[in-house]
């Protein structure tokens, strides 16, 4: 569901921040088990900024989709309840 993704995506910020710190300190950068080919601290900052921007967009998209789904479900339940009351 969209709500689950909306709750899980912000947790990834700490993972990406750790990857940024690893890249700045010269350690190998691993994100979700994948080795990221970063050779300079500038590349680590660029890669982390791109990943954080994508994460922010994905969080916004899931929030929007979650709200739309919730609103549609609420309208359907309200319409069904009105129909039952009027019968």
Mean pLDDT throughout 71-83? Answer: 80
Mean pLDDT throughout 49-76? Answer: 88
Looking at the DSSP assignment, which residues form a beta bridge with residue 30? 35
- Tell me how long the chain is: 87
Rounded CA gap, 42 and 12, in Å? 21
Residue labelled with tokens 């050779």: 39
Residue labelled with tokens 């993972």: 15
Mean pLDDT throughout 11-30? Answer: 90
């Amino acid at each position: 569901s969209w709500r689950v993704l909306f709750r899980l995506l912000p947790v990834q910020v700490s993972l990406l921040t750790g990857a940024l710190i690893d890249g700045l300190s010269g350690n190998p950068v691993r994100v979700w088990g994948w080795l990221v080919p970063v050779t300079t601290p500038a590349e680590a900052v660029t890669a982390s900024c791109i990943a954080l921007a994508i994460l922010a967009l994905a969080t916004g998209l899931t929030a929007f989709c979650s709200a739309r789904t919730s609103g549609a479900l609420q309208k359907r339940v309200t319409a069904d309840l009105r129909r039952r009351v009027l019968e």
